[in-house]
Amino acid sequence: MTLALSTLLEARAQWMKIDSTRLDVEPRFEVQYVDTLIDFGTGMKMRTQMCLPVTTEAFPVVLTRNPYVPAPMTLSQMGAPRQYAERGIGYVLNHPRGTGGSEGQFQPNIYEREDGLAVVGWLDRQPWITAIGLTGTSYMSLTCWIIADSLPDKVKCIHQHHYGVDRHLSAYNSGLFRQDILTAWSISNAREPIRKPKVDPAAPFYTEERYMPQVRMDVDLLGCELPWYRDWITHTDYTDPYWHQGVWETLRSIPPRIKVPCTIVAGHFDHHNEGTLLGYQLLSDATKAKSRLIVGAWNHSFVTTPIAHHPQHDKDFNVDADAFNWMYALLVEGKEPEHEVLVYNIGEDVWRHFDQWPTATAHHKAYYLTSAFDPDDRNAYHLVTDASLLPRRDEQHYVYDPKNPVMSVGGETLFTSERTRGSIQQPEIGYRPDVLSYLSDPFDEDLNIDGKIRAVVWMSTDVDDTALTFKVSEVLPDGTAYNIRSGITTMAYRNNRLGPRQTYSPGEVMELTIEALPILWQVKKGHRLRIDITSSNFPEYSIHSNYAGVWSLQTQTRVAHQTLYIDAQHPSRIEIPY
């Protein structure tokens, strides 16, 4: 199995030493290290490494199932597991089939329920174990979710981070595939031999992601067929039976049946943000009452963005230390868990407590697009808050060429393009003719954005399908801008991203409503909002060819001539929740 450098570094980081000053318990045990192959009842042996406290008494254990650690580690390399054991909790690291020395072939997602239930069942039967906790990040979190409805009695809690329970939401938005995570992940985790190593292991897979037809990219460029990847890229509709059977239907159906308390950790700029929040929302009321939702300012690697506000408290919550402290209280001390929703406010640099988040709010402030130039920047148009100022008729035009897509600069669902993921400084206004930019007046007071930003844009095009995307950024007094949230849609999935594909007649004027992922962000007094409108955001999303149909089967592109309507009859606008 080949691993991308970013994936490997994150896997190694899982075992780095936890800051002991954040742990509530001092070490008091010697540690026994066990590295062995165990048949848990599936007919194949899986490599399992354990750090256990040396004691004659039974003790609790924590289980992580990790496919990313490619080679056995010594005790000195297992920093966090050793720290658990020194404080009385055994740590069990299980390598899924086909990884890390385990028997079998690694097939992403498919066997994790069968194998995971076998592992926890075996642990449950051991007399030296009093209680079990599950924990993991990303794919390791999947291995927690996928068994969480059928846990044996000794499993008392789950502390999981950065994985969504709805695979379609992780893969698609309005028929556009999230290539920077899933195409790149598929290439990085395919079987050998597939390709020559990249000169820069951190470089994105632009050549592979732009290949047409994408459905043949695996064979033509990698030299092997990836049937599971082909399934993902050809089943574009949420209503397709593919997403409602097998492992994906099982995963989506599990949260309401979970009985044990959970701590669910999400990131404002993690590519699993939407599905992770959904997992928490789907918990039963009884389970929510003893569970926690934590949302930080970080990306998938727990790196905070942006740093332009000079945050001081973004890392007040430490996921590794919290996992130990929370599970120790449950597994060792037997404490009853309490409900908590804790969300970091970017800009304000404060962690806020909520009863639920995103909050239900009826407050939205509309910023209307106009064709009047901004008084301070002739490369931008002006946003107004009074709809009566809109002219009787007005429109704007730009040309979208899929062969020259707008590249992603910052984004909520980027992963492999790690130099650009999260919230980062934006290009100067006017950097491309196919990106229309709009500026608000400077704010007279701080504005707290709390919830899902919406764009309502009236549009027509001269092709039978195309895309429209918006980006909202905060502009500092020196003119630099940092992206807050973005959204994207297509004519085929207009106003119903989870519905079936729709038809569109060229020239037809449509009102498109696009909703971004929720955010908690304070725009400072004296700062401005910037809105960018265009038709591509690559590689965060696949490039729209401007042809109707399944994107991965298409072999050609064409230019589209886009028209935005920005008048009293068609009040195109951005709606900011507060």
- Are the beta carbons of 513 and 456 closer than 8 angstroms? yes
Res 7: pLDDT: 45
pLDDT at 8 over 60: no
Question: What is the average pLDDT across 303-323?
Answer: 95
Q: Which amino acid is at 227?
A: P
Res 51: pLDDT: 96
pLDDT at 186 over 80: yes
- For residues 371-399, one letter each, b for 16 or more C-beta atoms within 10 angstroms of the residue's C-beta and e for the rest, the string is beebeebeebbbbbeeeeebeeebbbebe
pLDDT at 532 over 70: yes
- Are the beta carbons of 203 and 419 closer than 8 angstroms? no
Mean pLDDT of the chain: 93
49 DSSP β-pair partners: 35, 93
Start-end of CATH 2.60.120.260 domains in the chain: 364-577
Question: Residue 480: which of 427, 437, 440 has the closest Cα?
Answer: 427
DSSP state string for 136-192: EETHHHHHHHTTTTS--TTEEEEEEES--S-HHHHHEETTEE-HHHHHHHHHHTSPS
Confidence of residue 69 (pLDDT cuts 50, 70, 90): confident
**CA 134 → CA 143, 264, 304, 324, 411, distances in Å?**
9, 12, 25, 11, 30
Q: Which amino acid is at 295?
A: V
Could you say which of 1.10.10.10, 3.30.1300.10, 3.40.50.620, 3.40.50.1820 is the CATH number of the domain covering 5-165+254-354? 3.40.50.1820
Res 5: pLDDT: 38
Start-end of CATH 3.40.50.1820 domains in the chain: 5-165+254-354
For residues 454 and 518, give the distance between their C-alpha atoms in angstroms, rounded to a whole number. Answer: 10
State residue 353 phi and psi, 5-degree precision: -95, 140
- Are the beta carbons of 469 and 488 closer than 8 angstroms? yes
Which residues contact residue 538 at a Cβ distance below 8 angstroms, ignoring those fewer than 6 apart?
179, 209, 210, 405, 406, 407, 408
* Tens-place pLDDT, residues 486-518: 999 999 999 999 999 999 999 999 999 999 999
Question: What is the average pLDDT across 87-100?
Answer: 95
Which CATH code is given to the segment(s) 364-577? 2.60.120.260
**CA 48 → CA 33, 45, 66, 409, 491, distances in Å?**
11, 9, 10, 41, 50
Whether the bond between 255 and the residue before it is cis, its omega within 30 degrees of 0, is no
For residues 444 and 527, give the distance between their C-alpha atoms in angstroms, rounded to a whole number. Answer: 9
For residues 36 and 460, give the distance between their C-alpha atoms in angstroms, rounded to a whole number. Answer: 63
* Tens-place pLDDT, residues 115-145: 999 999 999 999 999 999 999 999 999 999 9
What helix, strand, coil percent values describe the chain, rounded to 5? 20, 30, 45
Which residues contact residue 128 at a Cβ distance below 8 angstroms, ignoring those fewer than 6 apart?
58, 59
Percentage of the chain beyond pLDDT 90 is 87
Question: Residue 291: which of 342, 350, 250, 242 has the closest Cα?
Answer: 342
